[in-house]
Structure 1
Amino acid sequence: MTRWNIRSGKSWPLIRDLVIAEGIAYGVFLIIALSAHWALMYRKLAMARYISFTVVEFTILAAVQAALIIFVIKRSLQDEPNVGEMIQAGEHERLEFKTSLRWDVKQEKVNKELERGVMKTIAAFLNSKGGSLMIGVDDQRKIFGLEQDFASLPKDSRDGFENHFNNVFATMIGPQFRRLVRLSFHDFDVKNVCLVQVEPAHQP
């Protein structure tokens, strides 16, 4: 099951598109409402005797709103990645797995070099055609989870993980590129996995 986390940036595109959809709907409404021409044309119709122009205006507004909202949500659901299928497919040119962000499984302690490895992969995606990085999954497609990473942070949670990710990203890559990287968290039984989706940058 996928949890939607507004801070992760996963919900922002949907919210943005819904706001745009509302703007379009109200734009259509204002065009109709402020145009005397439309009102005069409507009064010539037979149905004007039974239904006022105001009712028609609000009916059109509601219909446009509903259509745009359905379109935006449907497109958002279609764009939602199937993380389970991605894991089963395995690594390829535009998908890599990392067991953790900072917890060294072999040494059983925090290892800053692992953070460098994660950021190096993200930088490579930024400098190419983009790609996805799955944190919490090893090379053999086994789900390790993020619980050890969580426990190693001052704030033992997804928010704490993302805050630390943001700090490391800003230091090693640069905050100006953060808008090109989207984090989302996914549940597999009792384990967390983080999907990092990277868009290509226009500058190295």
Structure 2
Amino acid sequence: MLQDLKKKKSVVVIRNLVIAEIVAYGLFMLLALSADWAEMYQKSFIYNYLSFTILEFAGLAIVQIAIIVVVVTRSIKEEQDIRDIINSGEHEQLEFKTSLRWDVKRDQVNKELERGVMKTVTAFLNSAGGSLVIGVDDHNQVYGLESDLASLTKQNHDGFENHFNNLFVSMIGPEFRQYVRISFHYINNKSVGLVQVDQAHRPAYLKTEKGEDFFIRTGNATTSLKVSQVASYISSQWR
């Protein structure tokens, strides 16, 4: 599993490098077609000391090195950013969940955990927004998504996001999906999911077997409002 995670992380970096290389190559082609740079260079005084071919290869080498440095640095920064988020601890706009559906104590899938995740997302939608990190426990310890992934039919991040989407649509509603973004990051060779939620433009409810529940964030907790409280909150939040 550790080797698989390292491989996945390497694949992401390589993919980003390839994309950057393609973009850079496209720009070089556009520049090459826009003018006869060799002829222009031959008219400069530098041509007597340095051939155009050497200058061209030197320029390409510098660009290649710059691309590698930028992509690798960005990957390192992304990991540091998610570390900083975790180290800040839970608060009104940040919550941690050990997993999406895998019960660590029972060592099995627990559907109630899925509801807990969607409850937090609903609360963020009804408040000032926030971020939910899945794969980290309440003590800021990174558990990872590996147990969740292993419990899915499609055992990768795409499968995780598909399952998250299905839960979201059935429990909250597709019209609110535009306010939610999910991304995956690696910390100590463990993957975690970062769910970023914007405040919705109208109230969001969590569907239940008996009807619907309304949740908001109060401090670092998710709170359910009574029917008598919902109308007052909605009028103050969405005017």
By how many angstroms is 1:63 displaced? 1.9
Q: Deviations over 1:37-85 (max 9, x none)?
A: x333311335535654344233323322322332233133213246566
Change over 3 Å in CA distance of 1:187–1:177 after alignment to 2:
farther
Structure 2 residues not aligned, in runs of 5+: 203-239
Structure 1 residues not aligned, in runs of 5+: none
Aligned residue-pair number:
195
1:182 aligns with 2:180: no
The residue identity in structure 1 corresponding to 2:93 is R
SS for the counterpart of 1:139 is coil
Identity over aligned residues, as a percent? 41
Whole-angstrom distance in 2 between the partners of 1:72 and 1:147:
26
Contact 2:94 2:131 in 1 (8 A): yes
Change over 3 Å in CA distance of 1:178–1:54 after alignment to 2:
farther
Q: Deviations over 1:87-107 (max 9, x none)?
A: 454211232122332245677
By how many angstroms is 1:197 displaced? 3.7
The residue identity in structure 2 corresponding to 1:59 is A
The residue identity in structure 1 corresponding to 2:182 is V
The residue identity in structure 1 corresponding to 2:113 is L
The residue identity in structure 1 corresponding to 2:184 is L
Residue 133 (structure 1) aligns with = 132
Residue 72 (structure 2) aligns with = 73
1:63 aligns with 2:62: yes
SS for the counterpart of 2:90 is coil
Once the two structures are overlaid, the 10-residue window that deviates more, 128-137 or 114-123, is: 128-137
Whole-angstrom distance in 2 between the partners of 1:193 and 1:27:
34
Whole-angstrom distance in 2 between the partners of 1:132 and 1:39:
53
Alignment of 1:185-200 (within 5 A): 186=187, 194-198=192-196, 200=198
State TM-score, norm by structure 1.
Answer: 0.63
Contact 1:18 1:69 in 2 (8 A): no
Once the two structures are overlaid, the 10-residue window that deviates more, 193-202 or 93-102, is: 193-202
By how many angstroms is 1:33 displaced? 5.7
Whole-angstrom distance in 2 between the partners of 1:136 and 1:101:
8
Contact 2:98 2:136 in 1 (8 A): yes
SS for the counterpart of 1:80 is helix
Contact 1:97 1:135 in 2 (8 A): yes
